[in-house]
Structure 1
Amino acid sequence: MDRGTLYNELKPLLVSLAYHTMGSIAEAEDIVHDVFLSWEEKPPHQVRDPKAYLCKMVHNRCVDYIRSPRRDRETYVGPWLPEPIDTTYVQEYDPMESIVWKESLSTAGLLLLQQLSATERIVFLLHEVFHYRFDEIAEIVDKSTVNCRQIFHRAKKSLGNLPERSPEVIEKKAALAERFAEALMTANIELLIELLSSETVLYQDGGGKVKAALRPIKGSDLIIRFFIAVAPEFPPGYRCVTCEINGMPGIRLVIGEMTFAVVTFDYLQNQLSNVYVVMNPEKLTHFNKDI
């Protein structure tokens, strides 16, 4: 198989792998692009298994990037949230990408993943999300099969159980997201009180590019007061569009055709345990690239 065909086949997997490790689709695409360029320079006979080799190269680049000074998030303005990915129409547009992205980690899962080391992330992702065997993972991360199994179990214990994705659960969570959108659009305080709890936390990621809360806001009372205070600043005529973000129900806040915020949730029974709002325009370019 020629390298151009391999590129088209493997790019969704490699971008998804890098994205889940980094939390940024832009960084992931840059890493995968650089990896393919370096691969082009190697004679074909030096790469026995291109898929394993490219996964290994992506892993190494991610590790280097995470450890680099430019990755320092201590200088990030306000809470950092992973870049949201709209997975609503992936299956319709590209069956190959659908296979890769259908089990994309939610915002909450991606945030938990950031607490792991780079090697723990890659081992966990390859086995849990991409269903690689431990012997295959061992070749990619230069560890023994036994060590990879231990790393995975340690990472899984740290992360806990990932959100259930059965059709029934997704439908229930989609209904909660729609009710939140309704409450936001109609300023329905009673509905917000019903959806939020004293333990709910609101995170806003403006990245210093737009006005946003610089610290997480905890508790339904403070969150509702915050929304009441900022509601007059929302663009006139905006609307909420329910969609699938990282494989889970979410909301896009839209003015005209432009998405200016993406809202995702962490769910607990019939309430929202966390609300994540990405407003940093640099993290929303994929939503607006065709405008």
Structure 2
Amino acid sequence: MQSEKLYSDLKPLLLSLAYHTLGSVTDAEDIVQEVFLTWEEKPPQQVRDVKSYLCRSVHNRCVDFIRSSSRKREAYVGTWLPEPVNTDKFQKNDPLAEMVWKESLSTAGLLLLQQLSATERIVFLLHEVFRYRFDEIAEIVDKSTANCRQIFHRAKKGIGPLPDRNPEIIEKKAAFAERFAEALTTGNIGLLIELLSSDTVLYTDGGGKVKAALRPIKGSEKIIRYFIGIKDEIPAGTRYETSEINGMPGIRLVVGEMIFAVITFHYLRDQLSDLFVVMNPDKLSHFNRMK
């Protein structure tokens, strides 16, 4: 397989695998680029399955990255949230990427995934998202088939089912996102009360780069007070755009051509049970490049 074709054919899969493992598009891109550069500079003499070999290389680099960055994560200012991905763009621009990213984990799912070890994440993703057989996964993570099956079931128990992407359910969730955007835009407190459950939790990630709540805010009343309190700090001319973010309807806050915040939700029946707001500009750089 020629290098250029190999890159175009396998990049979406490897990038998605690395991103879901790390929760960072930027770091995932770096790892995938390093894997391909290593392959081009010194391709192994004998490789039966190139795709499995490169998946294994990505897995190994992700494991090393997680180990080396653990202290950095512990020192992170405020709440850490995964870097959002605009999966709307994959639908419009790249059919192959759309196929790979269509089962993208929601923000809530990615946070649960972060509680697992790197190997548990890879095993879960390869089987649940990318439909790999356990014997194929065993070669990638250097475990027995039986061990991979056990690892998957433990991970599955912790993660739970993937989001239901039935078109009717997606449409209903998109309506929730639009109503939430309307409530923020108009300051409609009654609508916010209707949309948020009493147990809703708000997570904001500014990364120490912009002002954000350092701890999660629990309860609809406190969340509403928070939004009222920051209303005057929202830049003039801000507009709200609904978009598919990590496979689920979400909101982008835009000034001019710059996205300065992305909001995603954990949907629970007829209300929003969790709100995730990413404002760290480093985590929105990839989002803005794709806009």
User: Which residue matches 2:180?
Assistant: 180
1:14, distance to aligned residue in structure 2 (A): 0.3
- Residue 81 of structure 1 contacts residue 278 of structure 1 at CA under 8 Å; is this kept in 2? yes
Residue aligning to 2:239 = 239
TM-score normalised to structure 1 length: 0.97
Preserved CA contact (<8 Å) 1:62 1:118? yes
In 2: Cα distance, 1:176 partner to 1:43 partner: 50
Displacement after TM superposition at 1:205 (Å): 0.2
1:278 aligned onto 2:275 = no
Alignment correspondent of 2:49: 49
3-state DSSP of counterpart to 1:198? strand
How far does the alpha carbon of each residue in 1:147-172 deviate from its partner, in whole angstroms, 9 at most, with x for none? 11111011101112222111111111
Residue ranges of structure 1 left out of the alignment (5+ in a row): none
Query: Any gaps of 5 or more consecutive residues in structure 2?
Result: none
Q: TM-score normalized by structure 2?
A: 0.97
The structural deviation recorded for 1:74 is 1.2
Task: Please state if 1:259 is matched with 2:259.
Answer: yes
Q: How does 1:66-215 map to 2 (within 5 A)?
A: 66-69=66-69, 72-215=72-215
SS at match of 1:112: helix
Cα deviation, residue 49, structure 1: 1.4
| Cα separation, 2, equivalents of 1:103 and 1:290 | 20
Query: Aligned with 2:45: secondary structure?
Result: helix
Asked whether the 8 Å contact 2:84–2:287 carries over to 1, the reply is: no
Q: Which runs of 4+ in 1 moved over 4 A?
A: none
State the alpha-carbon separation in 2 of the partners of residues 215 and 92 from structure 1: 36
Distance change in 2, residues 1:262/1:37 (3 Å): same
Whichever residue aligns with residue 117 of structure 2, its letter is S
Identical aligned pairs, as a percentage? 74
Tell me the secondary structure at the aligned position of residue 7 of structure 2. helix
Seen in structure 2, the aligned counterparts of structure 1 residues 289 and 45 have a Cα distance that, compared at 3 Å, is: same
Letter in 2 for 1:85: V
Shift of 1:181: 0.4
Aligned letter for 1:228? I
Partners of 1:259 and 1:288 within 8 A in 2: yes
Q: For the aligned residues, what is the CA RMSD?
A: 1.2
DSSP 3-state at the match of 1:277: strand
Question: 2:89·2:290 contact (CA, 8 Å) conserved in 1?
Answer: no
